[in-house]
Amino acid sequence: MAFDASAPADTFPKLLIRNALLFGARPSMRHKDLGVWQTWTWSEVLEIIRAYAVGLHRLGVRRGETVAIVGSNRPRLYWSVMAAQTLGAIPVPVYADAVANELSFVLAHADVRVALVEDQEQIDKIQSVKDRLPALEWMIYDEPRGLRDYDHSHLRSMEAVIADGRKALAADAALGAWLDNEIAATKGSDPSIILYTSGTTGTSKGVVLTGERSIQAAADTVAFDKLTEDDVALAYLPLAWVGDHYLNYAQGLVSGFCMACPESAETVMSDLREIGPSFYFAPPRTLEALLTRVMIRMEDAGALKRKMFRYFLGVARLYGERILNGQPVGLGARLLYGIGNVLVYGPLKNTLGFSRVRVAYTAGEAIGPDLFAFYRSIGLNLKQLYGQTEAFLYITAQPDGAIYSDTVGPACTNVDIRIAENGEVLFKSPGMFTGYFKDDAKTSEALTPDGYVMTGDAGYFDEKTGHLKIIDRAKDVGKLTDGTLFPPKYIENKLKFFPNIREVVSYGDQHDFVTVMINIDLTAVGSWAERNNVVYASYQELAGHSQVYDMIEQHVAETNASLAADRMMAGIQIKRFLILHKELDADDGELTRTQKVRRGFIAERYAPLIAALYNDSREADISTEVTFEDGRKGTISARVKIRDMAPVTALGQAA
């Protein structure tokens, strides 16, 4: 196959061929299966993709068609994306945990005829809504367990499809030449993938991205962070999220680094320690969960260990950030930090799987400054980026040595940002989308007349650093009745730093004061309950316990003290709070599949509780529909208690 490795590649299949030529024997992908790490080289992956593409073609997949990819982070599902692109077809990833209705919406909207799925669970979900998917002809699965007795007239295993393609290529030499021509015929301007948005503000939209734009965007950030074929990343993010497609798939193909897939969602932490990635991404929620685990373990440790841990965390807060940024620090402080690194920081990073991490990012939502500072203080080079699906992720990123907890960095290479008169962030970028699939009206709404994308986020450039600051979703930033600016996410992130608090929804727009509804973290608070002999039988019972309310009240008081210390934020202290009787759940429509709060939906669902927060009630009754894991519906009822908080003056004294 004639191919010039030095020529610019404008599609991902062309990049795969380049990588097989340049890095042939180097690892391309790893996967832990049945407790054993398996490895495929770039040359081996290319051979598999070619066979897979031919096998799909023999099932009728053609150029320009959409192909659904449904499941978690498994090699064959990533290869499914590439095999579809090799034929000029357009992959459409769907979240593995999407319920049947969400799944049917995407497959129907994208006109999917072939679905490449992980296992029996996904096949069952699709079959339950098959009457809404008249175009669907084939389902091709990776994991055969549980499917032996299914009707296979429209089912095939990926293994069989790949084997069929191999056999066909071996029997007909002309088929290989035909496939080469198909790869060459795909232009960089052709659609490469359709990624559906998380639906934070309504129905999901299909974001159409092209190969050349995606590759250019990834190339800019690969150069920015100096990623090479020697790096390793753990692919555990949702396959359908733009972050996974960019950070792992696109950057991996551009740089040639190795992508490792965990054995399962439950083994990610242990797999992270074993694989030791050098490039890592985690949304704030994951970092919060990790910190919660650490704090729970330390509460169970001996008194001496707890004292040592707390002491050296204090040392880290004083000197860690300065040492990480290469700033001058006294010899005594550096020596003390070094001792802390041996006794605490190093073992802690090893436990978390961060020992080899050279570059780490967080994004997806705003991260609490205290949480961000914690990881950087122990020596993790954690940075923030700001991005969107419509930008193919990166809009800004923090450069090494210029990291600030309250900013998301300057514009990335070749990205142009401007702030609209209403404070909304607008951008143009190399990777920006070409439009929403089958929705020209929404595409026009998302763009300014001169071609900038409207992010929907409110922000401004910090005068001191020149970096972008994101306040909140533009539509979510409101005002109290006295005119005080009310950014709900700012308050929520402060509360979510506490390991006992998992989720927060705050209210205050057009009201006299701020209130919050809180989800406790069942793991953290359950551990606390066990240590304090607090008996409970369910989340609902624990959430309503008076001692749990006492503990959360302390966290709210600390948050108010922190707000009071900031002149701009002193007026948005929390006056009343409640603990929700159930966990907010994506299956119930309360969160998106990327775990973002759907504020409008929650405001409607919990209207009686919100009304009680503002009418001086001490408690309120609520009945809520819930969705069980098997898809059945039920109702949970509770009487939720409400507590008042005393305001704090700027001097830290209760008013």
Distance between CA 184 and CA 501 in Å, rounded? Answer: 52
pLDDT exceeds cutoff 50 at 370: yes
In this prediction, residue 200 carries a pLDDT of 53
| CATH value at residue 591 | 3.30.300.30
Task: Give the highest mean pLDDT range of 2-16, 386-400, 628-642.
Answer: 386-400
In this prediction, residue 194 carries a pLDDT of 98
In this prediction, residue 298 carries a pLDDT of 85
Count up the domains in the chain and report the number. 3
Last residue of a domain, one of 220, 241, 276: 276
Closest CA to 552 of 569, 528, 583: 528
Domain membership flag for residue 196: yes
**183 and 11 in contact (C-beta within 8 Å)?**
yes
What does the pLDDT look like over 252-267, one tens digit per residue?
999 999 999 999 989 9
Q: Is the domain of 78 the same as that of 194?
A: yes
Q: Is the domain of 491 the same as that of 632?
A: yes
Q: Is the domain of 159 the same as that of 301?
A: no
191-196 and 279-281: which strand pairing?
A: unpaired
Task: Work out the average pLDDT over 345-349.
Answer: 94
pLDDT exceeds cutoff 90 at 644: yes
Q: Is the domain of 328 the same as that of 243?
A: no
User: Please, which pLDDT band fits residue 1 given cuts at 50, 70 and 90?
Assistant: very low
In this prediction, residue 7 carries a pLDDT of 65
Domain membership flag for residue 616: yes
Q: CA torsion angle for 532, 534, 538, 544 (degrees, to 10)?
A: -100
Residue 306 neighbours by CB under 8 Å, 6+ apart: 298, 299
Q: Is the domain of 271 the same as that of 309?
A: no
More confident residue, 279 or 591: 279
Sign of CA dihedral 205, 598, 101, 120: positive
What does the pLDDT look like over 207-217, one tens digit per residue?
999 999 999 99
Q: Is the domain of 346 the same as that of 299?
A: yes
In this structure, what token pair is assigned to residue 374?
């914690």
Distance between CA 241 and CA 37 in Å, rounded? Answer: 25
What does the pLDDT look like over 483-520, one tens digit per residue?
998 889 889 988 987 889 999 999 999 999 999 999 99
pLDDT exceeds cutoff 50 at 220: yes
In this prediction, residue 5 carries a pLDDT of 52
Domain membership flag for residue 228: yes
Distance between CA 527 and CA 500 in Å, rounded? Answer: 10
Domain membership flag for residue 438: no
The enclosing H or E element of 67 equals strand 66-70
pLDDT exceeds cutoff 50 at 652: no
In this structure, what token pair is assigned to residue 379?
């020596």
pLDDT exceeds cutoff 60 at 409: yes
Domain membership flag for residue 581: yes
Give the lowest-confidence range in 40-44, 236-240, 362-366: 362-366
Q: What percent of the chain is helix, strand and coil (3-state, nearest 5)?
A: 40, 25, 35
Domain membership flag for residue 649: no
Q: How many other CB atoms sit within 10 Å of the CB of residue 8?
A: 13
In this structure, what token pair is assigned to residue 25?
């024997």
Distance between CA 227 and CA 219 in Å, rounded? Answer: 10
Closest CA to 207 of 72, 116, 69, 90: 90
More confident residue, 470 or 181: 181
pLDDT above 90 covers what percent of the chain?
Answer: 73
In this prediction, residue 8 carries a pLDDT of 78
Task: Work out the average pLDDT over 402-426.
Answer: 92
Last residue of a domain, one of 211, 245, 276: 276
pLDDT exceeds cutoff 90 at 539: yes
Q: Identify the domain containing residue 235 by its residue range.
A: 12-276
Q: Is the domain of 350 the same as that of 489?
A: no
Last residue of a domain, one of 342, 361, 380: 380
What does the pLDDT look like over 281-293, one tens digit per residue?
998 888 888 888 8
Distance between CA 251 and CA 228 in Å, rounded? Answer: 9
Instruction: Read off the DSSP letter of residue 411.
Output: B
pLDDT above 70 covers what percent of the chain?
Answer: 97
**139 and 115 in contact (C-beta within 8 Å)?**
yes
What b/e readout covers 184-215, taking b as 16+ CB neighbours within 10 angstroms?
A: eebebebbbbbbbbbbbbeebbbbbbbbbbbb
Q: Is the domain of 287 the same as that of 271?
A: no
Count of residues for the chain? 655
User: Please, which pLDDT band fits residue 4 given cuts at 50, 70 and 90?
Assistant: low
Closest CA to 518 of 575, 563, 582: 582
Distance between CA 217 and CA 429 in Å, rounded? Answer: 8
What does the pLDDT look like over 115-163, one tens digit per residue?
999 999 999 999 999 999 999 999 999 999 999 999 999 999 999 999 9
**293 and 380 in contact (C-beta within 8 Å)?**
no
In this prediction, residue 297 carries a pLDDT of 83
Distance between CA 416 and CA 227 in Å, rounded? Answer: 23
The enclosing H or E element of 644 equals strand 633-644
In this structure, what token pair is assigned to residue 413?
């290479």
Domain membership flag for residue 462: no
Please report the DSSP string for 259-287 in residue order: EEE-S-GGGHHHHHHHH--SEEE--HHHH
In this prediction, residue 368 carries a pLDDT of 74
Distance between CA 146 and CA 148 in Å, rounded? Answer: 6
Distances, alpha carbon 18 to alpha carbons 43, 247, 254, 294, 629, in Å: 10, 19, 10, 43, 44
Distance between CA 429 and CA 412 in Å, rounded? Answer: 9
> What's CA 634's distance to the chain center, in Å?
29
| CATH value at residue 102 | 3.40.50.12780
279-281 and 359-362: which strand pairing?
A: parallel
Instruction: Read off the DSSP letter of residue 146.
Output: T
Q: Is the domain of 228 the same as that of 287?
A: no
What does the pLDDT look like over 385-400, one tens digit per residue?
999 999 999 999 999 9
Q: Is the domain of 169 the same as that of 260?
A: yes
What does the pLDDT look like over 74-111, one tens digit per residue?
999 999 999 999 999 999 999 998 889 889 999 999 99
In this structure, what token pair is assigned to residue 366?
């705003």
Give the lowest-confidence range in 462-466, 470-474, 481-485: 470-474
User: Please, which pLDDT band fits residue 356 given cuts at 50, 70 and 90?
Assistant: very high
Domain membership flag for residue 295: yes
Q: How many other CB atoms sit within 10 Å of the CB of residue 593?
A: 22
Q: Is the domain of 298 the same as that of 214?
A: no
Q: Is the domain of 182 the same as that of 291?
A: no
The single residue listed with the structure tokens 């992270």 is 272
pLDDT exceeds cutoff 80 at 655: no
258-261 and 232-234: which strand pairing?
A: parallel
Distances, alpha carbon 261 to alpha carbons 69, 73, 312, 408, 429, in Å: 16, 6, 34, 28, 30
3-state secondary structure at position 139: strand
Distance between CA 79 and CA 50 in Å, rounded? Answer: 10
Q: What is the 3 state secondary structure string of 465-531?
A: CCCEEEEEECCCCEECCCCCEECHHHHHHHHHCCCCEEEEEEECCCCCCEEEEEEECHHHHHHHHHH
Distance between CA 391 and CA 451 in Å, rounded? Answer: 13
* 576 phi and psi angles, rounded to 5 deg: -140, 150
In this prediction, residue 296 carries a pLDDT of 82
Distances, alpha carbon 585 to alpha carbons 421, 522, 592, 595, in Å: 36, 14, 8, 8
Task: Work out the average pLDDT over 521-547.
Answer: 91
